Amino acid sequence: FVGRSALDIEGLGAKLVDRFIDLGLVHDVADFYTLDWEQVAQLEGLGEKSAENLRESVEGSKDRPLWRLIHGLGIRHVGERTATLLADRFGSLDALTAAPAEAIAAVGGIGTVVAQSIYDFAQEERNQALIVKLERAGVRVQDERVGDGSHRHPLDGLTIVLTGRLTELTRPEAEERLRRAGANVTSSVSKKTSAVIAGEDAGSKAEKARELGVPVLAEADLAAMLDGSVPDVLRPA
C-alpha cells in the first residue's frame, strides 16, 4: 500500500510499519491517515522533524491517481496494469466494488479469474469498511475522468522497460505516465518486450534487448510516446 508502485508514501518503510503495528498505532492501512503525530514524534529514533516529514508524505498520498490506490489494496491478481484498466473503466472505488464479476470481466485485458478475485474482495465486509475509512480520511477514491473502457490509448498493447537515468522525468513519473497512456511497464527484458527506453548509463537491459532484437529507444522517443506519437518501429507492420 505504501510502496512506490502504490501510494508511494516516502519515509514509511516496512520496519516503521511493523513498529506502528506492534505499538497498536495502526490496524489497517486507513489508520495511517489518522495517526497521532505528536505521539509519533515521541517515538525513539524519530523526533519532530522526521514525524513532520512523514506526516506530509502521508497527506500527499491522499491525492494519488485511482489506479495506485486500487493496486495498493492488495487484491489478488491485481497488478499495476490491471489497476490502471480498472481505474480507467470504472473511475471510482464505489463503482468498481459495486460491479458484478461479469462487468469486470468485460473490461479488455481482464479475465474471469481476475474479475472473480476483485468481486470477492469487494464482497468482504472488512474490505468494504476499509474503503469507507479511506474515503472518510480524505483519500481520493475516484478519478476526474471516467472512461467507458472502449477507447484505445496510444500505447495499448505495448510492453516497455526503462533502464538508465532519465533527465526530464523521474523513473516513477515516467512509469506512471506510460501506464496512463496504456503501456505495460515491466522491469525485465524478454522476447515479449516491445521496446526498451535507455537513459544515460544504460546497462545490461539495453544489451539484452539488442541481443533479442527488441528495439532500444532514447529518452526523446519516450517524450514523443507520452505526447501520443508511437515510433514507426513500434507500429504494426
Specify the higher pLDDT residue, 170 or 4: 170
Statement: the pTM of the whole predicted model exceeds 0.75: no
Please write the tens of the pLDDT for every residue from 60-111: 888 888 888 898 898 999 988 888 889 888 888 888 999 999 999 988 888 8
Please write the tens of the pLDDT for every residue from 163-208: 999 998 888 888 878 877 778 888 889 998 999 999 998 889 999 9
Sign, CA dihedral 42-46-47-50, equals negative
Euclidean distance between CA atoms 109 and 52, whole angstroms: 41
Euclidean distance between CA atoms 230 and 122, whole angstroms: 37
What is the b/e burial string over 86-107, where b = at least 16 CB atoms within 10 angstroms of the residue's CB?
A: bbbbbbbbeebbebebebbbeb
Question: Could you give all domains of the chain from N- to C-terminal order, each with its CATH number?
Answer: 14-63 (1.10.150.20), 66-136 (1.10.150.20), 159-234 (3.40.50.10190)
